[in-house]
């Protein structure tokens, strides 16, 4: 990637200027970058917007007016911009898990194969595994930039792949499809979905609002509005709850493993080779690998998801390789604390049987 990042200070400064101008709608990048490597914090310490009605008077994601620049809206966005990995701390909700965890898991597990896109590129004349990888390598930082949840990212990829099965897409519209999928996924699960304007700006305004909205309609139509796909994110959280509830791991350990596993899962989303694995299989394998890298005393039970042994080993093997060759990317995705703990180094990972 040497060519793409200008190295001379002058070039860098110029780039920054350009950034400033072009990035106006999404101006939180610098701050996010600084925060990303801070240690995990419980959500409570951050001033979050609630549902009380106090703060959302100005926030009207469903109204037609463009509230991007209203102070309340930007404040809202501020709050949404949490470093991804900090989220699980607040999300460990053992009570709901006790009430509904198993039935919910059974429900998602049963629907998994229905929503699983297989060989999404088989019928594509122009989109290749490589361009898919590049698109997602771009979408992953974009989703971080907006402070979106991992769930949104998983759904984005699911929407993208399922649409690719139904419709041939021209290469020059692949990026538009990427942001459209992201928009739909966010409308489904996020509190503050990105604005269309922001997404268009991210694509250097190559596409028009009309094009994005039209494609949104087409995607919704082709997917018959079925957007509730079970995701790796769901299964990671479920398996984490299971081990904490069974007291097989300390809460902090389990959450660290989940964060590391989520980093690996993000990598795997970008690689077409992993689309053949179901989300639950990937989730359990990511957790197992994370446990090994963190050297947890009692690793997660690989058979928790009742996957066949052969599939588990196959997936685990590929995942190890993926982590090895993307070590650098992975360290940038993770909080410092976790990188230090698992001392991300190829030699260590290779040593794993």
Looking at residues 218 to 277 of the shown chain, list those that interact with other proteins (rule: CB under 8 A): 218, 220-222, 224-228, 267, 270-274
Site for other proteins in 49-78 (CB under 8 A): 49-54, 56-57, 59-66
Shortest gap between Cβ of 279 and other proteins (angstroms)?
15
Site for other proteins in 273-312 (CB under 8 A): 273-274
18 touching other proteins, by CB under 8 A: yes
Shortest gap between Cβ of 70 and other proteins (angstroms)?
14
Q: Which residues of 90-108 are buried (b: 16+ CB within 10 A; e: fewer)?
A: eebeeeebeeebeeebeeb
How far apart CA 63 and CA 56 sit, in angstroms, is: 13
Reading the block at residue 259, the tokens are: 């964060």
39 touching other proteins, by CB under 8 A: no
Shortest gap between Cβ of 282 and other proteins (angstroms)?
14
Instruction: Report the residue number, 163 or 296, with the smaller CB distance to other proteins.
Output: 163
Shortest gap between Cβ of 230 and other proteins (angstroms)?
10
Q: Which range binds other proteins by CB under 8 A, 240-248, 303-311, 327-335, 336-344?
A: 327-335
How far apart CA 133 and CA 32 sit, in angstroms, is: 24
Instruction: Report the residue number, 275 or 296, with the smaller CB distance to other proteins.
Output: 275
Instruction: Report the residue number, 220 or 302, with the smaller CB distance to other proteins.
Output: 220
Instruction: Report the residue number, 263 or 305, with the smaller CB distance to other proteins.
Output: 263
SS3 label, residue 281: helix
How far apart CA 171 and CA 169 sit, in angstroms, is: 6
Instruction: Report the residue number, 14 or 295, with the smaller CB distance to other proteins.
Output: 14
161 and 181 Cβ atoms separated by less than 8 Å: no
Residue pointed to by tokens 């909205």: 213
Among 160, 184, 242, 338, contact with other proteins (rule: CB under 8 A): 184
175 touching other proteins, by CB under 8 A: yes
Residue 40 has what DSSP assignment?
P
Q: Which range binds other proteins by CB under 8 A, 39-47, 244-252, 303-311, 337-345?
A: 39-47
How far apart CA 147 and CA 191 sit, in angstroms, is: 11
Site for other proteins in 106-135 (CB under 8 A): 107-108, 111, 125-126, 128-131, 133-135
Report the alpha-carbon angle 100-104-106, nearest 5.
125
Among 41, 75, 138, 251, contact with other proteins (rule: CB under 8 A): 138
Reading the block at residue 21, the tokens are: 């101008």
Shortest gap between Cβ of 53 and other proteins (angstroms)?
4
Dihedral sign computed on CA atoms, order 344, 290, 264, 302: positive
Nearest-CA neighbor of 154 among 230, 209, 41?
A: 230
Residue 39 has what DSSP assignment?
P
């Amino acid at each position: 990637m040497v060519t793409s990042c200008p190295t001379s200070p002058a070039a860098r400064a110029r780039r920054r200027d350009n950034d400033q101008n072009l990035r106006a709608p999404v101006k939180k990048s610098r701050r996010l970058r600084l925060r990303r490597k801070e240690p995990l914090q419980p959500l409570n310490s951050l001033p979050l917007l609630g549902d009380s009605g106090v703060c959302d008077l100005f926030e009207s994601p469903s109204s037609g007016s463009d509230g991007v620049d209203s102070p309340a809206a930007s404040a809202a966005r501020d709050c949404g911009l949490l470093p991804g990995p900090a989220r699980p701390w607040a999300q460990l909700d053992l009570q709901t898990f006790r009430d509904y965890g198993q039935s919910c898991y059974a429900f998602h597990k049963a629907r998994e194969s229905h929503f699983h896109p297989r060989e999404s590129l088989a019928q594509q004349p122009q989109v290749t595994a490589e361009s898919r990888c590049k698109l997602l390598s771009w979408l992953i930082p974009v989703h971080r930039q907006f402070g979106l949840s991992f769930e949104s990212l998983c759904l984005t990829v699911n929407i993208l792949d399922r649409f690719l099965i139904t419709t041939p897409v021209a290469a020059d519209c692949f990026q538009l499809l990427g942001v459209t999928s992201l928009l739909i996924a966010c409308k489904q699960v996020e509190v503050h979905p990105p604005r269309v304007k922001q997404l268009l700006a991210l694509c250097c305004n190559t596409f028009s609002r009309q094009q994005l909205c039209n494609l949104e309609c087409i995607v919704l139509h082709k997917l018959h509005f079925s957007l509730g796909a079970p995701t790796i994110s769901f299964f990671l959280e479920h398996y984490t709850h299971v081990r904490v509830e069974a007291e097989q791991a300390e809460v902090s350990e389990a959450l660290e493993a989940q964060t590391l596993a989520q980093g690996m899962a993000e990598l795997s989303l970008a690689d077409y080779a992993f689309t053949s694995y179901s989300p639950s299989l990937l989730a359990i394998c990511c957790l197992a690998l994370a446990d090994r890298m963190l050297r947890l005393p009692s690793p997660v039970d690989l058979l928790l998801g009742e996957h066949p042994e052969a599939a588990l080993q196959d997936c685990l093997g590929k995942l190890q390789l993926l982590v090895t060759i993307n070590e650098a990317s992975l360290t940038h995705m993770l909080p410092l604390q976790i990188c230090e703990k698992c001392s991300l180094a190829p030699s260590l990972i290779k040593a794993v049987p």
